[in-house]
A and B are shown apart, each in its own frame.
Chain A
Amino acid sequence: MTTRPSLRSGLAVAALKLVNTASRRLHLGQGTVAGGRVALRIDPHVLRRLARGRRIVLVSGTNGKTTTTALVVAALGGATTNTTGSNMSAGLVAALAADRRSFTVLEVDEAYLPIVAPLVNPEVIVLLNLSRDQLDRAAEVRVLTEKWRTVLHQTNATVVANSADPLVVYAAIAQMDSKVVWCDVGTSWTLDARACPQCTEPLDPVGSWRCDCGFAKPDADFVLGEKLLGRNSEVSLRTALPGAFNRSNAALAVVAAHQLGVSFEEAAQRVASVEGIAGRFTLRRLGGQVFRLMLAKNPAGVAALIDLVAATSHMVVSINDFIADGLDPSWLYDAPFDRLRGATVWCTGSRALDLATRLHYDDVDARVVSPSEIPSRVQSTEPIDIIANYTTFAEWLEVTTPC
Chain B
Amino acid sequence: MLKIAVLYPELLGTYGDGGNALVLSSRARQRGIEAQVTAVSLDDEIPSADILLLGGGEDGPQRQATFALAKNGALAQRVNNGAILLAVCAGFQIIGTSYEVEGGLHVDGLDLIEAVTTRGEKRRVGNLLTRVGERWLVGFENHGGETQLGDDEVGLGVVSVGAGNAKRAASGDVVDGVRRGRIYGTYAHGPVLAQNPWFADELLSAALGYQLEPLASVADELHRERVSAVGGVEASSLNY
Contact = CB atoms under 8 A, between A and B. Distances in A.
Interface of A: 132, 135-137, 140, 142-143, 191, 194-195, 200-203, 327-328, 330-334, 353-354, 356-358, 360-363, 366, 368
29 contacts: A132-B14, A132-B15, A135-B142, A136-B140, A136-B142, A137-B125, A140-B58, A142-B60, A142-B61, A143-B58, A194-B9, A195-B11, A200-B60, A202-B10, A203-B10, A327-B140, A328-B140, A330-B16, A330-B140, A331-B16, A332-B16, A333-B191, A334-B15, A354-B222, A357-B195, A357-B219, A357-B222, A360-B218, A361-B26
A215 to B, nearest CB: 14
B221 interface: yes
Nearest to B9: A194
A269 B58 CA distance: 44
Interface in B10-40: 10-11, 13-19, 22-23, 26
By Cβ-Cβ distance, the 6 closest A-B pairs, closest first, are A333-B19, A333-B16, A330-B190, A194-B10, A330-B16, A353-B222
A358 B10 contact: no
Contact of B42 (A142, A201, A362): A201
Contacts of A203: 10
Contacts of A132: 14-15
A142 B23 CA distance: 28
A6 B125 CA distance: 42
B207 interface: no
B194 A358 contact: yes
A194 to B, nearest CB: 4
Contacts of B17: 333
A135 B15 contact: yes
Interface residues of B, number: 36
Contacts of B219: 357, 360-361
B194 A136 contact: no
Interface in B124-157: 125-127, 140, 142
Interface in B35-51: 41-43
A361 B22 contact: yes
Interface in B57-91: 58, 60-61, 64
Given A136-B140, A142-B60, A357-B194, A330 B19 contact: yes
A191 B42 CA distance: 15
B14 A140 contact: yes
A261 B19 CA distance: 48
A87 B124 CA distance: 27
A320 to B, nearest CB: 13
Given A195-B10, A334-B16, A353-B218, A142 B58 contact: yes
B61 A135 contact: no
Contacts of B190: 328, 330, 333
Interface centre among A143, A200, A356, A363 (most CB of B within 10 A): A200
B218 A357 contact: yes
A58 to B, nearest CB: 26
A327 B26 CA distance: 26
Contact of B22 (A137, A331, A362): A362
Contacts of A334: 13, 15-16, 18
Given A136-B125, A361-B26, A333 B218 contact: no
Nearest to A368: B218
A143 B14 CA distance: 13
Contacts of B42: 201-202
Interface centre among B10, B43, B58, B189 (most CB of A within 10 A): B10
Given A142-B60, A330-B191, A353-B222, 5 more contacts: A136-B140, A140-B58, A142-B61, A327-B126, A333-B18
A200 to B, nearest CB: 5
A345 to B, nearest CB: 12
A86 to B, nearest CB: 25
A373 B22 CA distance: 30
Nearest to B200: A361
Contacts of B195: 354, 357
